[in-house]
């Protein structure tokens, strides 16, 4: 079916779950700079109020709705409050997520259930609550997944499994909406390793605090991908070139990637590299939000002896289709000219 053409961002009402920190909060900042109206949802009301202040300062309008996405009734109430306050919903972003670091054979089942309740059921609740409102005049549904839905890694097995579920749900939902000719664009964002509080907020059962595994991308990379998907249709966006590379390696030779992950060591190792030298202090946001006003970044780069960087790859993916087609034509022309010159030589 032909894709729905979204409204200009300054005319949109956007709901963002997980808006109190990290990717969701940064996306709210960027959308506010475009003049959007933003409904901010998360469990931490103090951090949401601070985010709302930042949105207003940047030129947007904000509505704070404290929400636990694992609770279906709360998510339905979020949708109703958004429509009651702003009159409609144009884009809905399912971004809320939690994680754990643990060996699968010993991880408590209640922790597993909580990760799935937030990451998977939260996405399902959000999507189902949003669809009736998005379908009225057309809209966009954005689910924030992970590159770990392409390739699982050790110590984050349950998080990986939850993001595989998000990917499967998103792909099936897209096909069903297309089949019913419901005018909703469905996009899956696949972030790589991003400099957010995600790693300091994750529950660790390893005895050590988690840390981000380089390369680490700036939070504006996935947040910018969300903004791009609000304005034009993308089936999926890899947020960070390393995410696309990891997916390609998985498709090329999963056995070789298994071996590499098993034997890699040091700061780039998939076992030791994911854990800092700091002892775990028991803090996490798995069952309740961390107190405070929240943050977009997690100061992960210094801890991982790395830098938070932009992504040229993702920026290219976010270009308008006509621009990408033009660049593709230029590239094809350049290759053809090169081959012709070689033949003449």
List phi, psi (to 5°) of 45. -65, -35
Catalytic residue among 101, 103, 159, 217: 159
At 304, the pLDDT band (50, 70, 90 cuts) reads very low
Residues 6+ positions from 334 with CB-CB distance below 8 Å: none
The more confidently predicted of residues 163 and 1 is: 163
The more confidently predicted of residues 221 and 337 is: 221
Distances (CA, A) of 232 to 144, 236, 329, 339: 16, 12, 21, 35
The more confidently predicted of residues 86 and 315 is: 86
Distance CA 219, CA 18 (A): 14
The more confidently predicted of residues 337 and 199 is: 199
Quote the pLDDT of residue 328.
Answer: 46
Domains located in the chain, CATH noted: 9-310 (3.40.50.720)
Quote the pLDDT of residue 272.
Answer: 85
Query: How wide is the angle at C-alpha 303 spanned by C-alphas 299 and 305, nearest 5°?
Result: 115
State yes or no: is 267 an active-site residue.
Answer: no
The per-residue pLDDT for range 267-285, each reduced to its tens digit, is 567 788 889 999 999 999 9
Question: Please, what sign has the CA dihedral across residues 214, 50, 223, 178?
Answer: positive
Distance CA 141, CA 89 (A): 10
| Closest listed residue to residue 92, CA positions, set 53, 138, 47, 127 | 127
Of the candidate ranges 130-139, 166-175, 235-244, 322-331, the one whose mean pLDDT is the lowest: 322-331
Distance CA 104, CA 109 (A): 10
Quote the pLDDT of residue 105.
Answer: 97
- For residues 215-239, average pLDDT: 96
Quote the pLDDT of residue 116.
Answer: 99
**Percentage of residues of the chain with pLDDT beyond 90:** 73
Distance CA 342, CA 85 (A): 64
Q: Please give the model's pTM, rounded to 2 decimal places.
A: 0.88
- H helix or E strand, kind and range, residue 276: strand 275-279
Q: What value does the mean pLDDT of the chain take? A: 89
The per-residue pLDDT for range 50-59, each reduced to its tens digit, is 999 999 999 9
The per-residue pLDDT for range 86-130, each reduced to its tens digit, is 999 999 999 999 999 999 999 999 999 999 999 999 999 999 999
Distance CA 12, CA 229 (A): 12
Quote the pLDDT of residue 263.
Answer: 67
At 264, the pLDDT band (50, 70, 90 cuts) reads confident
118 DSSP 8-state letter: I
314 C-beta neighbours (distance < 10 Å), count: 26
Strand 275-279 versus strand 208-210 pairing type: antiparallel
| Closest listed residue to residue 196, CA positions, set 336, 112, 304 | 304
């Amino acid at each position: 079916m032909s894709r729905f053409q979204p409204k200009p961002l300054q005319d949109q009402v956007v709901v963002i779950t997980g808006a109190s920190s990290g990717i969701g909060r940064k996306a709210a900042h960027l959308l506010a700079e475009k003049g959007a109206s933003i409904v901010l949802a998360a469990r931490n009301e103090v951090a949401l109020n601070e985010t709302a202040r930042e949105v207003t300062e940047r030129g947007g309008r904000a509505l704070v709705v404290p929400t636990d996405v694992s609770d279906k009734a709360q998510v339905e109430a979020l949708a109703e409050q958004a429509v009651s306050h702003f009159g409609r919903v144009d884009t809905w972003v399912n971004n809320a997520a939690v994680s754990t670091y643990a060996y699968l054979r010993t991880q408590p089942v209640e922790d597993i259930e909580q990760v799935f309740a937030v990451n998977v059921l939260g996405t399902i609740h959000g999507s189902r609550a949003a669809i009736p409102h998005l379908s009225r005049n057309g809209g966009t549904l954005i689910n924030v997944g992970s590159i770990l839905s392409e390739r699982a890694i050790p110590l984050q097995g349950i998080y990986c499994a939850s993001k595989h579920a998000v990917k499967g749900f998103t792909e099936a939902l897209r096909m069903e909406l297309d089949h019913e000719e419901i005018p909703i664009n469905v996009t899956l964002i696949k972030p790589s390793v991003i400099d957010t509080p995600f790693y300091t907020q994750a529950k660790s059962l390893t005895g050590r605090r988690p840390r981000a595994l380089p390369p680490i991308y700036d939070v504006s990379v996935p947040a910018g991908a969300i903004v791009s998907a609000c304005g034009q249709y993308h089936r999926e966006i890899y947020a960070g070139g390393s995410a696309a590379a990891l997916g390609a390696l998985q498709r090329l030779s999963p056995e070789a990637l298994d071996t590499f992950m098993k034997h890699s060591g040091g700061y780039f190792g998939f076992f030791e590299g994911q854990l800092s030298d700091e002892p775990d202090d028991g803090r996490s946001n798995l069952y309740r939000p961390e107190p405070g006003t929240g943050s977009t970044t997690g100061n992960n780069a210094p801890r991982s002896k790395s830098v938070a960087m932009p992504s040229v790859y993702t920026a290219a993916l976010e270009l308008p289709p006509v621009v990408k087609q033009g660049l593709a034509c230029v590239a094809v022309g350049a290759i053809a000219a090169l081959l012709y010159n070689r033949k003449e030589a």
